[in-house]
Amino acid sequence: MTAPSGDPAPRRRPQQRKQVLLRLDPLVYEALARWAGDELRSANAQIEFLLRRALAEAGRLPGGAGPIPRRGRPPAGPAAADHPAEPES
């Protein structure tokens, strides 16, 4: 059954991140992990970054693909300015 044409389109639920088992040669993983560490990323984030870049370069990145979620500590807000860090002695 379809919604009448006057009704707004149904909202899409945000998709959860897809979990994928990936088997890699141990030396390839070690190189990937070192590269990820150099760029302050996890190995998982590095794999996603590289896959997205390759898809974009090939013109195959879906338009609906959202940005890579930011992980880690949130950026310092105005509250951080109210309490400056103690000077080191």
- Please check whether residue 75 lies inside any domain of the structure: no
Distance CA 69, CA 18 (A): 13
The domain tally of the chain equals 1
CB 59 within 8 A of CB 40: no
- Please check whether residue 40 lies inside any domain of the structure: yes
Range of the domain at 27: 22-60
- Please check whether residue 43 lies inside any domain of the structure: yes
pLDDT at residue 2 tops 70: no
Give per-residue pLDDT as tens, 4-51.
Answer: 555 565 555 566 888 999 999 999 999 999 999 999 999 999 999 999
pLDDT of 30: 98
* pTM score: 0.61
For residue 6, what are the CA distances in angstroms to 9, 10, 11, 13? 9, 12, 15, 21
